[in-house]
Structure 1
Amino acid sequence: MTNLLNARLFDGKTSAARDVTVEIFDRYIAVYHSDGKETNLSLTEILLCEKPNPGKPLRLRNKTDNGLRLVFDDNAAKQAVTNALPSLSVAEGSTHARFGLTLGITGFSILVVLLIWLGLPVVVNMLVAIYPKSQEIELGRSVREQVVALFGEDDGDTGKLTCAPGDRGQKAIDAIFDRFKATGALSYHYETTIIRSDIENALSLPGGQVLVFSGLLKNMNSPDALAGVMAHEIGHNEKHHSLNKLFSGAALSQLARLITGGAQVPVGFLLEQSYSRGMETEADQFAINLMRAASINTNDTAALFKRLSSESRYAKYSKILPEIFSSHPEMEHRIAQFGNANITGNLDIAAANWRALRNACDDEGPD
């Protein structure tokens, strides 16, 4: 048994971290929460996310990755964990996350026949329709880690690439999603991750993952504008656009590996292909309908789109990062749609909560 160690716990359901204390026993790790609750993690089910690296946090996860992370930042705590668990394995998928849908070789043979007979678009739609939701959620979380690793910027202190919004900031996020959930239009439990980066963008990943870059948050004047961005990304997710691009963009050889299980997540295929105009239009219409049902005006969203569409500060990312603010020929029409929606109503979010969310990645942390 070790002494009490300080750690941060990410539960895999939200982007917020919780400060916890930890004891390591012969067969399990005891995690003590500030509210008095205790969580026990079996040592047979725990892996290192990556090899211990001086100056970097030490992270543990479950073998069946559900997004949970137990993070040790203090050097003494890291050394204590290393000493107490010298034979702890490193996750094989820590560099290239893996997922599988086991349909077997027969399933792939049928897929090839269908591709020849019906054509790629029809088969892609069929695959999206039958893809298990549990696998989609796991896929989204796996790709999220890769996107964070690709685009997150080290804060120079703790090495964190994402930002915890704190209690106040989380309340602002929850208020937006509570309004959306009340409409009955959401079929996923959405998780929001704030990536520390000057990029002014947001992304939707399969299974209810919404990624917001801190550069975009800092450019927003109101939570209503953020709600519009969220609604657009939710639209991509609810319409399965990410899965569609994933399957249609992968080569047949890659699809074979996906269908037969144990494949590497092809994050490149997912990111390298921007959404089609039809998908953008569909996501926009979903967002406007969702905001109308939730009684959130779209004027601030239109103003944000207009301001950011005229900027090209991040053109170097245009080939690998789908942009919600792309200045393609239909952008003016998209802005007009949001501006002319004539939706009344505002989000009732405390100014302190909104300020905490916008400032989540500031050096001094959220207000």
Structure 2
Amino acid sequence: MWNASLFDGQSARRYPVRVALADDALAVEGPETPAQQVALADLVRTANAASLSRRGSPGWRLVFADGVPAPVAERLAPPARYGKLVDRWGLPRAAAAFAAVSAALAAAVMTAPVWLGPMVPQAVENRIGTALVPDFAGSVCHTPAGDAALHKLMAQIDRPGGGPPIRVQVVKLAQVNAAALPGGRIVVLSGLLEQAKGPDELAGVLAHEAGHVRERHVMQGLLRQFGLSILLSGASGTAPASLGQLTALRFSRKLEDRADRYALARLQEARISPAGVAGFFDRAANHAPDEGNWLRYVSDHPDAGARQALFRRAVRKGAAYLPALSPDEWRALSEICADDTEAKFFSLW
């Protein structure tokens, strides 16, 4: 038997007791406390090497004068140092596992736009688009002939059966840009129409943006720019954004290349020459970024030189290409904002 002191957790008194090992329990008895048997499975070694606590009995302590006897200590679990799982695995293995889980979580967050974007249901993206895209109100340009020409152009360069029709709007804003927006929309700024030399150039630009829409790149761009919060705040209608933010969505080089190749395929199927958009990219590549309205397009669409070369190489010698629009149709579309005297200039920010 061993001498010990018992604290029953009911009072601050210290009771002298004698302790003996009895099968799978400790027999505890003393002159001032009732005899009791405590199962070894209920006893826990504490940080104090001389004491034991009892599960389910806060404040209960059994303190041995000369430390927990070896025959008792051998029958008990080792004292908890870091927590159950860490103590079970050991600190080195637990630390390695924690580092691996942390790296996996970091990788999941960093790559979330790539794998999560295409998984967002179209209906959710539509709601996000409704919440995010500003109301252009009186800044959208309309004329009967211009609208008809734009509809004809989109019908040629958008993939048949690719999904709901893409909604394209021409907004009166003197910047050279076009952008795919959430919810199956494309916005064309009037500055782009003023700089384009013909309908084939505009067809290539619109086909590229249609590629972003049809390939579900827009949600990836939103997640990259705004983070995962866009799924909650956007879907609930609490995350308005400026047109400047939306036209500045960043796509990876891989997604830009896929949109270019979508555009090439659609231009070839519509028998529209890629030379037009190649000329457009050539002017963008050779345009100084501080020269007026090209600034936004050059900054939002990098590597214009390489993309010009891609479309230039796709031109087939001897191919019977057709103009994307007739001269009258192109005039109606390119001057749609000039002809719509009620359209007002839109504020980008």
Band of TM-score, shorter chain:
0.5 to 0.7
Q: 1:297 to 1:189 in 2, by over 3 A?
A: same
Q: 1:364 to 1:178 in 2, by over 3 A?
A: closer
Task: Give the aligned partner of residue 52 of structure 1.
Answer: none
Shift of 1:293: 1.9
1:145 aligns with 2:164: no
Shift of 1:135: 2.7
Task: Give the aligned partner of residue 167 of structure 1.
Answer: 144
SS in 1 for 2:133: helix
Task: Give the aligned partner of residue 153 of structure 2.
Answer: 176
Task: Give the aligned partner of residue 153 of structure 1.
Answer: none
Task: Give the aligned partner of residue 189 of structure 1.
Answer: 165
CA contact (8 A) 2:177 2:191 kept: yes
**Aligned partner of 1:258: which letter?**
S
1:135 aligns with 2:132: no
1:264 aligns with 2:242: no
Shift of 1:231: 0.5
Q: Percent identity?
A: 24
Task: Give the aligned partner of residue 246 of structure 1.
Answer: 222
Please list, as runs of the form range in 1=range in 2, the aligned pairs for 1:1-367 lying within 5 A after superposition. Answer: 116=105, 119-145=108-134, 148=136, 160-164=138-142, 166-181=143-158, 183-184=159-160, 186-251=162-227, 254-255=229-230, 257-258=232-233, 261-266=236-241, 270-311=246-287, 312-313=289-290, 323=297, 328=302, 330-343=303-316, 344=319, 345-347=321-323, 349-362=325-338, 365=341
Shift of 1:214: 0.7
Shift of 1:259: 8.3
SS in 2 for 1:119: helix
- Cα RMSD, aligned residues only: 3.4
SS in 1 for 2:149: helix
**Aligned partner of 1:237: which letter?**
V
CA distance in 1, matches of 2:262, 2:155: 17
Q: Deviations over 1:162-210 (max 9, x none)?
A: 211x1211221121222234x5363331111111111011111122211
Q: 1:114 to 1:171 in 2, by over 3 A?
A: farther
Q: 1:209 to 1:184 in 2, by over 3 A?
A: same
SS in 1 for 2:311: helix
Q: 1:185 to 1:335 in 2, by over 3 A?
A: farther
Q: 1:115 to 1:144 in 2, by over 3 A?
A: farther
Q: Give aligned pairs, total.
A: 237
Name structure 1 gaps, 5 residues minimum. Answer: 1-112, 150-159
CA contact (8 A) 2:169 2:188 kept: yes
CA distance in 1, matches of 2:245, 2:273: 35
**Aligned partner of 1:226: which letter?**
L
Q: 1:116 to 1:317 in 2, by over 3 A?
A: farther
**Aligned partner of 2:238: which letter?**
A
Q: 1:360 to 1:118 in 2, by over 3 A?
A: same
TM-score w.r.t. length of structure 2: 0.58
Structure with greater Cα Rg: 2
Shift of 1:221: 2.0
Shift of 1:244: 0.5
Q: Deviations over 1:304-358 (max 9, x none)?
A: 111133332567996xx6x367574x32221011112124422353322221111
Name structure 2 gaps, 5 residues minimum. Answer: 1-101, 343-349
Q: 1:116 to 1:286 in 2, by over 3 A?
A: same
